[in-house]
């Protein structure tokens, strides 16, 4: 009989926005798995009190935790226009 392995991944996304005048104007993290307790945080609204005008450079990272390590699966950068 072959063993059966079940893998459950708890994936998270971190989104950061930076501008020329400020190193970090927006940052958010949300989990994307069935039992995630805060599903309303899975929609990222690109605004913050410290980001009142202008464009920004955004970076999103898809990752999960493995013990004490953070494993990044993918990273994507994109500009946001005003």
Beta strands in the chain (DSSP E): 11-18, 26-32, 56-66, 69-80
Q: Which of the 8 DSSP states describes residue 58?
A: E
Rounded to 10 degrees, what is the CA torsion of 40, 49, 56, 60?
A: -30
Rounded to 10 degrees, what is the CA torsion of 63, 38, 28, 26?
A: 170
Report the distance separating Cα 62 and Cα 75, nearest Å.
6
Average pLDDT over residues 48-71: 87
Average confidence score pLDDT of the chain: 82
- Place 16 in a pLDDT band, splitting at 50, 70 and 90: confident
Average pLDDT over residues 12-18: 83
Is pTM beyond 0.95 here? Answer: no
């Amino acid at each position: 009989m072959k063993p059966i392995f079940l893998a459950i991944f708890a994936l998270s996304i971190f989104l950061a926005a930076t501008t020329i005048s400020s190193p970090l104007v927006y940052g958010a993290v949300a989990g994307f798995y069935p039992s995630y307790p805060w599903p309303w945080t899975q929609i990222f609204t690109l605004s913050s009190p410290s980001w009142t005008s202008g464009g920004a450079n955004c970076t999103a990272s898809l990752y999960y935790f493995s013990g004490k390590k953070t494993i990044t699966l993918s990273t994507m950068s994109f500009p946001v226009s005003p």
